[in-house]
Structure formats: C-alpha cells, structure tokens
Structure 1
Amino acid sequence: MTATAARPALPGPPRRATLSLLARMAQDRLSVMTSVARQYGDAVRLRLGPKSLHFFNHPDHAKHVLADNAANYVKGIGLAHARRALGDGLLTSEGELWKAQRKTIQPVFKAKRVAGKTEVIAQEAAGLVARLRRHAGGQPVDIRDEMTGMTLGILGRTLLEADLSAFESIGESFEAVQDQAMFEMMSLSAVPTWVPLPKQRRFRRARADLESIVTRLADERAAHPTADGDDILSRLVDATQQEPDEGARRRRMRDELVTLLLAGHDTTASTLSWTFYLLDRHPQVWERLHAEAVEVLGDRMPTYEDLHRLKYTSMVLQEVMRLYPAVWLLPRKARGDDEIGGYRVAAGADVVICPYTLHRHPAFWEAPERFDPDRFEQSRAAGRPRYAYIPFGAGPRVCVGSSLGLLEATIVTACVVRELRLATVPGYDVKAEPMLTLRVRGGLPMTVRAIG
C-alpha cells in the first residue's frame, strides 16, 4: 500500500446528511461549525451539495495554511464568489494584482502615520460620547448603527483625508454591497445578476451610488492634492493615472476603496458592538474598565501614549475578539496537492480555517465560552500556541489595518466607559450574524446612562 493510500480519510457527516447540513448552514453557520468540530475533531469534511469543505481547526493547521505554505492557497469558497459584488479589491484579488494593491496601501498603515491619527480618532470618539449622552435616560439607541457611522467617519478622515459625512447614502450602500456579497458567497454565484430580485436591484443601485461617490472623491483629490499625498485616496489616484481606459481606472478605484472602507469600518464596528454588549453582561469587567479609563485619562482627550497605559482595556478587547472575531472564517483553495494534519488535500480542494471555533478550542482555552479578559494577562498567555488566536488572520494576507483598528477600538472603548454606561434592552435577543464580518444581527438597541 502506498503512503498516499494509507492516509486516513477526513471524518465528517455522512453523504446522506448533505441536505440537512445545507439547510443548517443556511440558518446558523456558526452552530454547524461548532458542532462538527466537537463531534468529529480538528479535521472534518463537510459535503455541501457539489462542494466539499475541508475544515481544519488546530493551530498547527492554521499555521500551515495561512503562513508556512500560504503560497499554495488562494482565496477560496465564498470570497471568490463575492468578487462579483466586491470586484477585485484587496479582499478578493490574487497574484500580481494583490501584490500591487498591497504595495500601494501598505505605507498608509505605517506605525508613525497611524500614531499621528490619534487626535482624529479621539475627536470622533468624543463626538460619539456627546451623541450618546443626548440619549441618556431616554429611548434606546442602536449601538451597532452608532459604531458603524463613527468608524466610517474615522476611516474617511484617517485613510482618505476626506469627510464622508457629506455622502448621506454611503452607509446604506455599503450595507447593500455586503448583503449582496454574502448572497453570492452562500449561493456560490448560482443566481445570474440580471435576475430582478429586490436584493439584487438594491445592490445595483448601491454599486452605482458608490461608484459615483468614489469618482467625486477622486476628482476632488486630483484637483486638490493633500500636502504629503500619503493617504490612500491620493495613492490610488497616482497608482491608476496611467491606466488608459477611463472606465477600467474608475472600476479599480471603486473596487479598492469600497473593499477597504467596507472591511475596515465594519470589522471595528462589529468589535465595538460586541464589546459594549459583553460589558453589560459582565458588570465587574465594566467596573475595572471604567476605573482604568478614569485613572489613565482623567478628564483629558486620549493620546497615542495612552494606548500602552490602557492595559486592561487591551485585554478586554482581545477577549472580545476571541469570542467574536470580526473575521470569523478564512476560506482558501489549494493550488496543488498538500497534506494537513496527516490528511491529504488534493489540488483544487476547498479548505477553511474558522477563527470562531479555533478561539473556542477547549484544548487551548480554559472554559472557552467564558468571557475572561484576564486570560490575556501575560503569565496566563505564556505557552499558548501562536496560531490559537488569529483575529486578524495570519501570514502574508494578515489584516493590513490591524494596528489602526486596535487603536480605534481602544480609544473609543475607554472614552465611552469613562462617561457612560450602556445596557441592553431587556428581552432583546442578541445573536451573532456571520456575514463578511461577525456582527450583531438586526442591530443592538441599548439604553444610555451618564456617569457622574
């Protein structure tokens, strides 16, 4: 018997369970991934109609696919299909195009430049606190909507050097694009774009609106360059100006800006939404967080140096991202034959790494369902496998904006808990919705109480 033939077959639900598995995936993808990992172990085969997913759920598997042998894997099931909605932005592109895009935007996220945007973030956080304070003692406010609007405003000012508040429809258009991208992922692009479904008509309007916004932004920047030209908008204008086809140039601008803004603002908005939900459920954590914010910040605006002083805030956010990683699934497709964890992976196979389940793996996390920020205290974190925790992905395609996102989340959290206490509306059913990001389904209505 050859070595290849001797390799074990991936365990998983039997073929007769395909239809029920597809139905469950459509209704609750997180519970499916959690239950099959619990039942079948760290390597599972999921038959989904004509497709089979190779689901690997061990830190060594994640390291192999995302870092050690990353060159063998391209974007896989779902994200490849989302290209029809998102175009060829950084999230969906491959090969030389992806390398060129990454090279264009990487300098915008250099540590010194990110640190220089702290004042902008603090200003936006102060504006958020002021808006929320107006709701104190009154009707609930949708925290997810508030976080989405704020993070979009921050990205506009930090990445584009532009005020996006003038574009009133931008948030709704982003929502329509994300809905369509998720629809493409789940349907594997089986529904033609010309089918007049309400969702697809809404998407076409949104795409046209975003293209108009991008065109206006690009034209304004070309006419009025920034002093250093170091923002993403300026760099994209420069990178695409040699494109002879005007339509192709504008599509590239649209694809890259829409992808960056959509991924950038929605990930941080989701993390912040889950943060305030979990703080309400764990008042002792809120008390410690509030005390730290008061001690470190006093009554002044945050600075970049405070990022290193807000140690417990950082631990809280790490724990939030463990339980509810914004990037909850990392799909890949094998370019060539490979072996993962002793199992053969054939060329063309769909492979998925799921941070949501990996972050709750009982072999690497004590009481994994418990919200416990102290697990990120240095002595407790020592010895934990590096790839047991990958909220920003890993390897060459690790999230380019992670440092900006963490700075933003830390400052906003500290500013809010210093002055306000948010409480979930009694009886409201808070559930996770695994879209492009892991967000709170249907919004997060919370009441506001001012402190002091």
Structure 2
Amino acid sequence: MTGSQQEARAARTAPPGPPRRATIRLLKQLFTDRLALMGDNAETYGDVVRIAIGPKAMYLVNHPDLAKHVLADNAANYHKGIGLQEARRALGDGLLTSDGETWKKQRRTIQPVFQPKRISRQAAVVAAEVDALIQRLAAHDGPVEILHEMTGLTLGVLGKTLLDAELGGYETLGHSFEAVQDQAMFEAVTLSMVPQWVPLKKQLEFRTARDDLRRIADELVEQRLADPVENGEDVLSRLIASGSEDGASRERMRDELITLLLAGHETTASTLGWAFHLIDEHPEVGERLHAEAARVLGDRLPEHEDLRRLTYTVAVVEEVMRLYPPVWLLPRIAQADDEIGGYHVPAGSDVVVVPYTLHRHPEFWTDPERFDPGRFDPENPAGRPPRYAYIPFGAGPRFCIGNSLGVMEAVFVLAMAARDLQLRKVPGKVVDPEAMLSLRVRGGLPMTVHRRERTRRAEAA
C-alpha cells in the first residue's frame, strides 16, 4: 500500500466514541443532562468523538483548531444543524436558522444597525433602562425572581435600541420564547419522531406561543407602517425598506423579527443570571466590582467610554461567558464529506462545536472549573488562550451580530448593580444549568435585594 493510500484510509477512519451498548445511557443523558453527555465523552475519547444514538451519529468537535475549521475555514460546508432546524417551526427562516443566499441577504439588511458607532450612540438608552431596573430592584422588600427581571430589561433594551419600539406591553414574550425552546429541544432529542399533531402539553403550549409571537411581530410591523420613521436606522425600518425593494413577503419579515426578539434578549438575560449567581458565590468579586464602579462612575450613569475604564467588570462578564456561554452548542450539518482532525466525517452528519466543553479544555485553561475573572485581565494578555478556545459569540461568518450591544448591556448592569445593591440567593436554592437553545438557570433564580449605603444617601438627599 502506498503512502497516499494509507493517508486516504486514515482519513476515512471514524473517530472514537462510546460503544453501541451505551445507547440507553446516552439517551438518558440526551434527555436529562446534555452538558454531561458532551463533557463526559470529550473527556473520555478526545477532541473528535462520534456519538451514535439510534439511527443518528453526532460528531463532537472539541479543539480550537478543529472549531476554526468547522466554523470559519470550511464554514461553507456546514449549515445550521440540530436544535436550530427544529426551531425553524417557530422562527421560520430568520437569521438564526437560515442558510446560503437567504442568510447573506438578511445579514446585509440588518448589519448596519449593529455598527459600532450606532451601538455606542445607544449607551444612554441602555444606561437609562438599567437605572430604572436598579430602582425597581431597590424597592423590593422580599425575594425577586432575577431572571424575570433580566428578561424584562433585555427586551426593553432591545425594543428601544434596535426596533425603536416599546416592548413593555408584550408581557407574554418571555414565556412564549421558553415554550419555543422547550419544543425545539424536545423535537431534537426525540429525533422528531413524535408527530406534531399529538396533543402533548408541551406541543399545545408551543402552538399557543408560536401564534403569540407571530401576532406580536405583525403588530410591530403594522405600527411602523402606520407611523414610519424618516430615514430610520432601526431594524424595523430596514426590514420594511428591504421588503419594498425586492418584494420580500410579510412572512419573511415576521421570521426575522421573531428571531431578533429571541436572540436579542435571551443570551444577555442568561449571562446576567449566571453572573449574579457567581458573584453571590464569590463575594470578593462583588466587592471588587463595587469598588471599581464607585471609582469610575461615582453617582452618574455609565457612558460608552466607561467600557474602557470598567476593566474588571468586563473581565467578570467574559469569565461568566466562559463558564456558562449563553450559546452552549453550535450545531452544524456537513454538506459534503470532510476530514476533521484526521477523521472522516460523511456528508449529512451532525457536527457540533460545544463552547461549554471547549471553554473547559484542560489543555488551554488552568483549573478550568474555577471562576476567575483574572484570566481576562487586560494587563496580562499573554495569559489568554488561543482565539478559538474562547467563542462565547460563535466564530467565522456567523459570529454573533449583536455581541457589542450584549456586552455593553451586561457591563452596565453589573457595574450599576454592584455599586448600589447586593443580590443574594434565597437560602436553599440549588442552581443548575439547563441546556436548551441557550444555557439558562434551571427553574429561575430568586434573590433578595440589599441596598448599599450610596443608595440610602441618595434617597436622603
């Protein structure tokens, strides 16, 4: 056998993975603990793992170089995969679920809304929304459901900064998106083998949620058509202008709005929930945040330029997203045969890059389970891992379009909350991750609110 023949045979070798007899265990993990499914197999079998469950095989990729191959270098070969395919029932062909020319056109349409200069001009709007949140929290006497508050905040910010619209009246949005995530993940783990007409409680809730989301999106479009913004730079105005130029359907506009509403609020709300949990677990981090916010901000609201000054707060946000990346799974489907890490991956295979496991890879992170914002200290850039070992916003052409707005919002919330308040988990609350389309805190996060001296002095004045 020649050297080239040996190389060809090696390239067609399947990656290692759990044996067929492990199917029952794998199915159980798929339903109940998807993070353990990914983490256990990466730890046992290495950086490329073939996980066969029933008739399907999934290829887990867990190395920076290989993530770069799938997400950037050979991105054209990998379309959206498991979970996002199922979410298409509610989200349609929005930016999150579409591929090819459709995705490219949608990206071009709304990209200008996320330009850095425009986002920086939204800082005052974000700060005002956060200030209103802090005042609401400070007025609470008993426990508050912090994830509910973060969802309300992020939806409010999204409406005013990206849509130039008020979303405060749409109180069902958060619940509807939960139902969408639940159904998408249910269909993914059951391999879509349960007919959609079966009247399960989950499926009935999904139908109600889907109708609710479509109604809200249609109302937002109708409101803007009735009251157009001259030379509007917001997403609604751009979508309407784009539709009038190429005859795009109202349905496509609705899909894009629903997708933006989900992706634009869920990831930041999840990050903030995990941040408050971790800060409560590490009070010394809370004290450093408080000291930095008091020094940088004083009594005023934050401005965009403060992102360069709130260095420790930014580091906390980055470390939170390392441990609990809001988008914990980046699923793809190979369009043609490929070779990943020397292993053959057939066309049609589900290929998943998992930021949750990649961010804990022991080769690139020291004591990876430890919460340590110092990893992102700007004074020690040499301590940072390779680029693709840290991908909380994805990578390649599909890099998250709203990353700068999300980071600004999270930094403003943590700085202002740490300056004025202390949030503590209700005693006995067990915090576990729930891996849906986003990585959220299972069952909510009730916390008690304690005002700091600065807040009391401001009230007295």
Q: TM-score range by the shorter chain?
A: over 0.9
**C-alpha deviation, 1:426, in angstroms:** 1.3
**Tell me, what secondary structure is at the counterpart of 1:108?**
helix
**C-alpha deviation, 1:242, in angstroms:** 5.4
**C-alpha deviation, 1:380, in angstroms:** 4.2
One of 57, 60, 63 as aligned partner of 2:62: 57
**C-alpha deviation, 1:379, in angstroms:** 5.3
Identity %: 62
| 232-241 or 96-105: bigger deviation | 232-241
**Tell me, what secondary structure is at the counterpart of 1:241?**
helix
The answer for the alignment partner of 1:429 in structure 2 is 430
One of 1, 4, 9 as aligned partner of 1:5: 9
Please, which runs of 5 or more residues in structure 1 have no aligned partner?
A: none
**C-alpha deviation, 1:250, in angstroms:** 2.7
1:221 aligned onto 2:224: yes
Q: Distance in 2 between matches of 1:5 and 1:379?
A: 48
The answer for the alignment partner of 1:212 in structure 2 is 215
Q: Distance in 2 between matches of 1:12 and 1:207?
A: 37
Q: Distance in 1 between matches of 2:111 and 2:88?
A: 22
Deviation track 1:207-253 (CA, whole Å, cap 9, x = no partner) reads 22222221121111112112331100111111223576xxx823212
Q: How many residues are matched?
A: 447
**Tell me, what secondary structure is at the counterpart of 2:422?**
strand
Distance 1:187 1:84, change over 3 A: farther
| 90-99 or 233-242: bigger deviation | 233-242
Q: Distance in 1 between matches of 2:272 and 2:170?
A: 23
Deviation track 1:245-278 (CA, whole Å, cap 9, x = no partner) reads xxx8232122111111101100000000100110
Q: Distance in 1 between matches of 2:153 and 2:449?
A: 17
Deviation track 1:389-408 (CA, whole Å, cap 9, x = no partner) reads 00000000000000110111
Please, which runs of 5 or more residues in structure 2 have no aligned partner?
A: 454-461
The answer for the alignment partner of 1:342 in structure 2 is 342
The answer for the alignment partner of 1:394 in structure 2 is 395
Q: Distance in 1 between matches of 2:87 and 2:217?
A: 20
The answer for the alignment partner of 1:75 in structure 2 is 80
1:26-425 maps to which residues of 2 (within 5 A)? 26-135=31-140, 138-241=141-244, 249-378=249-378, 380-382=380-382, 384-425=385-426
**Tell me, what secondary structure is at the counterpart of 1:192?**
coil
**C-alpha deviation, 1:56, in angstroms:** 1.1
Q: Distance in 1 between matches of 2:210 and 2:85?
A: 18
Distance 1:308 1:262, change over 3 A: same
Deviation track 1:39-60 (CA, whole Å, cap 9, x = no partner) reads 1111111011111111110000
Give the residue type in structure 2 aligned to 1:183. F
Give the residue type in structure 1 aligned to 2:409. E
Deviation track 1:157-181 (CA, whole Å, cap 9, x = no partner) reads 1110000112232222222222222
Q: Does the 8 A contact of 2:10 with 2:343 survive in 1? A: no
The answer for the alignment partner of 1:450 in structure 2 is 451
TM-score by length of 1: 0.96
Q: Distance in 2 between matches of 1:367 and 1:199?
A: 39
Q: Distance in 1 between matches of 2:356 and 2:113?
A: 29
For the aligned residue pairs, the C-alpha RMSD in angstroms reads 1.4
**C-alpha deviation, 1:103, in angstroms:** 0.6
**C-alpha deviation, 1:381, in angstroms:** 4.0
TM-score by length of 2: 0.94
Deviation track 1:343-391 (CA, whole Å, cap 9, x = no partner) reads 1112212111000000000110000000000011235442621100000
